[in-house]
Homo-oligomer: A and B are copies of this chain.
Amino acid sequence: MRAVNVAIVGATGAVGIELLRILEEREFPVNSLKLLASQRSAGKKLSFRHQEYTVETIDAHQFDQVDIAFFSAGSDVSKEWAPVAVAAGCVVIDNSSAFRMDPSVPLVVPEVNKEMIATHRGIIANPNCSTIILCAALKPIYDAVGINRVVVSTYQAVSGAGHMAMQELEDQVKAYANNEPLSAHILPVKSLSKHYPILFNVIPQIDVPGELGYTKEEWKMIQETQKIFNDYQLRITATTVRVPVMRSHCESVNVETKQKLTVAECRDLISKAPGLRLVDDLAAQEYPMPTDTAGQDLIWVGRIREDTSLENGLNLWIAGDQIRKGAALNAVQIGEQVICDLR
């Protein structure tokens, strides 16, 4: 594989750190590496392949020699700097929501629509974490029998709100253990006015309010899933919920298929699908749980049951590491394909 010059924008964030780790683990062919972040984080040192790199401030010339830039610093940074990077000749793999619904930007989960990567015009969007996990699990079912409708309820880890939210949960645990009051400044949404403790709590709000009483996170799951499957007839509704878990998302997924798929057939499909691991033995108490999937690349799928309320229905329970497959790994997989396409 041709070695490329890589930049990571937002290198010090939860996803940025994981990107570095995954590039190393997967022996991504890095020729040169540039770590970029806001001024606040500039000067920090991070290590990659036993070498130390200093985080630099983003500016227009930083992208000059870069082939692939992974952006993971939020929508505003992507909107400002991704076009600059593209103009400098970079391929941008953007983890923010800035360009996901742009019709000219491919939105990619490699297990689902890898072929879209080649259509890019400089930017490839990495979907929302809960969308990636859902789409990867639905893909083998979709291909086998078609899907009419999906009802999904999520159990999302605090890592989705970044390092500070993980620290907040950690601090709340320690405060509780010391009989101190719990303080909350980050969740559910840092920029909004009200914050609630997440320890011993469940918060049915992720991201800011959107249309029709849905949060933006819920719309992301609905609209991004349709775009990834390139199927705007795929009906989907979502309720997205934060739970006091560190870094792996779970989803309770009800699927109405177009044709009958038995539980045995579904298990067989899941067990053979790329990116998935079948963990489904209730009698042996084996099912996906966040404590088991944290740090894992595969999305675990289990609790597969016939939905007895429908002619052609299935219930699934899925869990996947939000920072890895839900963000950094998916972006690196896209990057690997970009390199293949360069050849």
* Interface pair B315/A244, CB less than 8 Å apart: no
Binds B, one of A23-31, A54-62, A109-117, A173-181: A173-181
* A201: Cβ under 8 A from any B Cβ: yes
- Min CB distance A322 to B, Å, is 13
A291 within 8 A of B: yes
A179-196 interface bits toward B, Cβ cutoff 8 Å, 1 = contact, 0 = none: 000000000100011101
Closest A-B pairs by Cβ, 6 of them: A177-B177, A235-B309, A153-B252, A153-B153, A213-B305, A194-B285
Q: List 13 A-B contacts (CB under 8 A).
A: A155-B155, A173-B173, A173-B199, A192-B285, A200-B244, A204-B250, A209-B283, A212-B306, A235-B310, A236-B309, A237-B309, A239-B252, A244-B245
The 8 Å CB contact of A290, one of B177, B202, B285, is B202
Does the CB pair A202–B315 fall under 8 Å?
A: no
Interface size on A, residues (CB 8 A): 65
Q: Is A269 an interface position by the 8 A CB rule?
A: no
Given contacts A244-B244, A254-B237, contact A202 B310 (CB under 8 A): no
| CB proximity to B under 8 Å, residues A182-232 | 188, 192-194, 196-197, 199-205, 209, 212-215, 222
- A173-B177, A176-B173, A250-B204 are known contacts. Are A196 and B149 too (CB-CB below 8 A)? no
